[in-house]
Amino acid sequence: MFSESGEPIHLRNMELEYEDHIINIKYNLLLDHIKLDAYVRACDEALLGRDGYRRLAAVEARLTREYQVAQRRIEITKLINEQIPIGTINLNKEVNQLDDDDEHQSNPDGIMVDEQEIGNGVYRSIRNLLQIFIPIWNESNPPILQPGDTINLKLGGDGKEKYETLAKVGNLFKYQLQDLQENGISVDGVHWPIELYFSGDWKFMYNIMGLNAPNARYFCLYCDCEASNRWNVDLCCPINKNTKCQKKPPLFPAIKQENYIPDELHLLLRISDVLMECFFNDLFKKREFEREIKNQIEQTMKSIKVHFEFFKSRSNSGKWDWTSLMGPDKKKVLQHFPIVNFISGKRGEEIQKLWRDFYDLYLVLRSPNLTYSEIDNFENKAKQWIKLFCRPSQGQMNSASQIPGLYRKEDVTPYMHVFSQHIPEFLRNLKEKNMGLRVFSTSSIEKKNHNQVRLFFCGTTMGGGTRGKPVVYDIMEFENRQLYYLINNTPQEILMRHIDAGDKENKD
């Protein structure tokens, strides 16, 4: 038999049934590797383990046998691990101070690992990953990269926030990052310049940059502003190094100071946290809070489709605490929550204006194509927003005409300082490079953390990996296989047409 295009039609199998028996006759015993790879990919992405697949195959006999899928999974892992090797390092030992230039020269990846440091951490070479991704980006339609482009490489992180632990990672990639920043990378005869950036939440970044914590006197990641002047938006604070609090070497010296970019997601999260805390603290002072206001706020949150509850904290002397909201819910609250229903008069109106204006300014800073005049307007409004936030009381004290102030100058946080004093300059700098602040978000890292936790609890051996390697090694192998599927265009579905022989329409 032949198709209309002249291609031969093959008989793959025939299924017979009698009584409670099913017989599947196969005419081609050769395994289709594309289809087998699709089976492996489906099991990986659905976190379907060997026992689960084995039970499924026992019910549906036409499925490829479990041992064949497992064997192919091992083969794929081996193939991709040869292209992208996975190394291990012990994160619990003291920082390896090895700086032997001869050893560095003998390592083509420029990755420094002491043989005694093998242990519970894993890593892959940035250069190896770029050699995989660049051809994919270059050949995509439309191409993400074209010859002559500069690769803007954003580094980031989350998790352990201890300098001594993070220093191991900095020491591990120190030479490779320096080489990539200075010399770029050549792939298939094409040279690609590289510009390094770093973005993360404040706690992670001050460790990476070797600075003090945000509660220090000289707190800022980008200037020498004192904590007592965070509220003063009339000060001139250009982006520069904080020369007064740098206490440790930066962990990624190859990254330029102006390329440590604030994370727009945490600007939203942390500033909205302050707005909500200040608002709730006002309400906690009212006698009727527990009897009336608490339930009214919870119902109002429900009306804007946000799950929210107050509860007594066990770890904070029984003080009131509340549901921690994620980014999408915080946007709803900033945009729709009616402050004026709970705080009357001009003060309630101004607090509601603070919430709405901050939401609007956040949307502006995330815009992909701002003009310079729009950035200037953003800067002016952000500074006016800070002035409104810490506006003092107006009029004669204790008089009927007095307008109570909003919040204290001390309530202006480091994130608010960066929001008003440094974000406009970052927006201008990024515009010159045809970029926007929205690409410097840790939302992708947060999603990666979520996926790895899900993978750990659903698809790996909790409490320890296999073959004497840490469990994170298994997770990294899983990610390597995802790259194999991307490189080889492994299908996510196999199309099959089902024809019902009893259907008259199919007989015509």
Do 304 and 393 fall within a single domain? yes
331 pLDDT more than 80: yes
Q: What is the pLDDT of residue 416?
A: 97
Q: In the chain, what is the straight-line distance between the N-terminal and C-terminal CA atoms, in Å?
A: 18
342 pLDDT more than 70: yes
The Cα–Cα gap between 337 and 356 comes to 9
More confident residue, 459 or 451: 451
96 pLDDT more than 60: no
Do 429 and 321 fall within a single domain? yes
Do 496 and 409 fall within a single domain? no
Going by C-alpha positions, the residue among 198, 342, 203 that lies closest to residue 270 is 203
Do 286 and 428 fall within a single domain? yes
The Cα–Cα gap between 80 and 488 comes to 11
Percent helix, percent strand, percent coil in the chain, to nearest 5 = 50, 10, 40
Do 303 and 358 fall within a single domain? yes
pLDDT tens digits along 268-323: 999 999 999 999 999 999 999 999 999 999 999 999 999 999 998 877 777 899 99
Do 172 and 276 fall within a single domain? no
pLDDT class of 150 with cuts at 50, 70, 90: very high
Mean pLDDT (whole number) for 1-20: 74
Count of domains forming the chain: 3
Environment class of residue 24 by beta-carbon count within 10 Å: exposed (0-12), middle (13-18) or buried (19+)? Answer: exposed
Q: What is the pLDDT of residue 310?
A: 94
227 pLDDT more than 90: yes
Percent of the chain with pLDDT over 70: 83
Q: What is the pLDDT of residue 169?
A: 81
**What is the 3 state secondary structure string of 370-430?**
CCHHHHHHHHHHHHHHHHHHCCCCECCCCCCCCECCCCCHHHCCHHHHHHHHCHHHHHHHH
466 pLDDT more than 70: no
110: left (phi over 0), alpha (psi -120 to 50) or beta: left
The Cα–Cα gap between 439 and 367 comes to 10
Q: Check: CB of residue 87 under 8 Å from CB of residue 113.
A: yes
More confident residue, 73 or 91: 73
pLDDT tens digits along 395-426: 666 666 667 789 999 999 999 999 999 999 99
111 pLDDT more than 50: no
Indicate whether 242 belongs to any domain: no
Q: What is the pLDDT of residue 93?
A: 63
Residue 226 φ then ψ, to 5°: -85, 150
Going by C-alpha positions, the residue among 308, 311, 306, 286 that lies closest to residue 298 is 308
Q: How many residues does the chain have?
A: 508
pLDDT tens digits along 188-208: 999 999 999 999 889 889 999
Q: Check: CB of residue 306 under 8 Å from CB of residue 325.
A: yes
Do 157 and 283 fall within a single domain? no
Indicate whether 117 belongs to any domain: yes
Q: What is the pLDDT of residue 33?
A: 83
pLDDT class of 247 with cuts at 50, 70, 90: confident
Do 451 and 426 fall within a single domain? no
Q: What is the pLDDT of residue 160?
A: 61
Indicate whether 473 belongs to any domain: no
The secondary structure element, H or E, covering residue 478 is: helix 471-487
Indicate whether 368 belongs to any domain: yes
Mean pLDDT (whole number) for 333-362: 95
Mean pLDDT (whole number) for 127-151: 90
327 pLDDT more than 80: yes
Do 412 and 493 fall within a single domain? no
Q: Give the mean pLDDT of the chain.
A: 84
Do 337 and 415 fall within a single domain? yes
Indicate whether 215 belongs to any domain: no
261 pLDDT more than 90: yes
Number of Cβ within a 10 Å radius of residue 53: 20
Do 370 and 455 fall within a single domain? no
Mean pLDDT (whole number) for 125-134: 92
User: 190-192 and 194-200: which strand pairing?
Assistant: unpaired
Query: Where in the sequence is the domain holding 427, given as residue range(s)?
Result: 271-439
Residue 142: cis peptide before it, omega within 30 degrees of 0? yes
48 pLDDT more than 70: yes
Do 429 and 284 fall within a single domain? yes
Q: What is the pLDDT of residue 486?
A: 92
218 pLDDT more than 60: yes
79 pLDDT more than 70: yes
Indicate whether 464 belongs to any domain: no
Indicate whether 45 belongs to any domain: yes
In the numeric block, the tokens 């993070």 are attached to 166
For 18, 42, 186, 421, 497, the CA distances from 371, given in Å and listed in that order, are 74, 45, 35, 18, 53
Indicate whether 237 belongs to any domain: no
Q: What is the pLDDT of residue 475?
A: 86
Mean pLDDT (whole number) for 466-475: 72
